[in-house]
């Protein structure tokens, strides 16, 4: 079930990196319904400019208090306006939207792979999965300032890697994953989840396919309506979904990696 909350109270707005912000709103409806991998569509400015809502993944929820947190990077007009919103103001939010990650696993070893802002939804996902599974997270980005961090109080370990070596090892997050997958059988993963830029996801998909490990990915496309009405966000299916065009906002944003046409 999705809700339109025209006056969600902003509780906190905090800068957590270079142009990266953590925003917490109060919405008991959204907090109660939200599943890891789902997103909200929110109006960033007052009035009609910008006209379109902007999608943000749900980073954390506290169901008892109704707190819902998002991490976002300022990249254009909408996110710039959003960064100026202060605690005590209200935002017009629709959500939770889309299909999230599969979370009904138990006794598995799972790997989470996040690239840049793709780390954001993996925090919520990891905190759900760790209740019944062993979780290891990997986060990668260009440099320390451009990378949101896994919070230190998480119940699962995480490893960071940056392209310029300013935090953690130097390299690509897919290289760390490849190293882990090359280890002996007990260290391998039963299930992988990834979110980040498309080229990173395509490489994770290749590695997972090679290692025969199921993988779910969260895709990002430019979105307009966010609810399946405009066809502005479609992507091509592959494998058992060959010939299909998915609406990322409604059929996803989470997909099985083998159902995505990575060559599109
Ligand atoms: C399901 C989903 C979840 C998302 N979750 C997050 C999140 O948790 N945190 C976060 O920081 N961002 C997230 N994004 C991306 C975020 O929605 C965009 O960065 C935002 O809409 C940009 O709005 P803007 O007005 O600031 O920039 P615009 O002026 O609209 O665009 C600025 C630049 O960013 C590019 N851009 C805009 N939207 C996207 C997109 N969806 N994918 C790739 N490039 C884009 C544009 O092509 C342009 O080059 C998510 C996107 C989707 C589809
Ligand atoms: S954004 Fe309109 S159909 Fe997906």
The CATH architecture annotation of domain 109-218 reads 3-Layer(aba) Sandwich (3.40)
Containing 181, the helix (H) or strand (E) segment is helix 173-182
Q: What is the dihedral of CA 216, 157, 140, 70, to 10 degrees?
A: 70
Average pLDDT over residues 70-90: 95
Average pLDDT over residues 236-263: 96
Average pLDDT over residues 82-105: 96
CA of 87 from ligand 1 middle (Å) equals 23
**Which-ligand-closest: CA of 54?**
1
Q: pLDDT tens, 164-204? A: 998 889 999 999 999 888 876 666 899 999 999 999 999 99
The per-residue pLDDT for 151 is: 82
The per-residue pLDDT for 258 is: 97
Q: Is the CB of 149 under 6 A from ligand 2?
A: no
Q: Is the CB of 223 under 6 A from ligand 2?
A: yes
- Determine if the peptide bond prior to 253 is cis (ω within 30°): yes
pLDDT band at residue 153 using 50, 70 and 90 as cut-offs: confident
Q: Is the CB of 50 under 6 A from ligand 2?
A: no
Tokens of 181: 């997958």
Q: Where in the chain is the domain with CATH 3.40.50.80?
A: 109-218
**Which of 220, 227, 254 for a ligand 1 pocket mutation test, highest count of atoms within 8 Å of Cβ?**
220
**Residue corresponding to tokens 């954390």:** 60
Could you write out the DSSP letters of every residue in 26-92?
E-HHHHHH--TT-EEEE--SSTTSS-S-EEEE--EEETTTTEEEEEEE--SHHHHHHHT--TT-EEE
The per-residue pLDDT for 210 is: 92
Tokens of 142: 């260009």
Is CATH 1.10.287.130 what the domain over 3-97 is classified as, yes or no? no
Residue nearest to atom 34 of ligand 1 (CA): 75
Q: Is the CB of 224 under 6 A from ligand 2?
A: yes
Q: Is the pTM of this model over 0.85?
A: yes
Residue 71 burial (10 A CB sphere; 0-12, 13-18, 19+): buried
Q: Where in the chain is the domain with CATH 2.40.30.10?
A: 3-97
């Amino acid at each position: 079930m999705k809700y339109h909350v025209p006056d969600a109270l902003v509780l906190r707005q905090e800068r957590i990196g270079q142009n990266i912000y953590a925003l917490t709103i109060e919405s008991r409806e959204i907090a109660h319904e939200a599943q890891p991998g789902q997103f909200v569509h929110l109006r960033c400015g007052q009035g009609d400019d910008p006209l379109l809502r902007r999608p943000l993944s749900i980073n954390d929820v506290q169901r008892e208090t109704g707190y819902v947190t998002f991490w976002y990077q300022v990249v254009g007009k909408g996110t710039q306006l959003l960064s100026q919103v202060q605690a005590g103001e209200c935002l017009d939010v629709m959500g939770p939207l889309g299909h999230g990650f599969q979370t009904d696993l138990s006794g598995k070893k799972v790997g989470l792979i996040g690239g840049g802002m793709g780390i954001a939804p993996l925090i919520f996902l990891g905190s759900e999965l760790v209740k019944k599974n062993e979780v290891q997270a990997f986060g990668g980005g260009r440099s320390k300032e451009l990378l949101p961090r896994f919070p230190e109080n998480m119940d699962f370990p995480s490893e960071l890697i940056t392209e310029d070596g300013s935090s953690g090892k130097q390299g690509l997050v897919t290289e760390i994953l490849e190293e882990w997958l090359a280890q002996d059988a007990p260290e391998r993963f039963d299930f992988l989840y990834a979110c980040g830029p498309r080229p990173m996801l395509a490489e994770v998909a290749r590695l997972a396919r090679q290692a025969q490990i199921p993988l779910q990915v969260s895709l990002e496309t430019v979105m307009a309506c966010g609810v399946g009405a405009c066809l502005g966000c479609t992507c091509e299916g592959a494998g058992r979904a060959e010939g299909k065009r998915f609406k990322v906002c409604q059929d996803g944003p989470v997909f099985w990696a083998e159902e995505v046409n990575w060559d599109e």
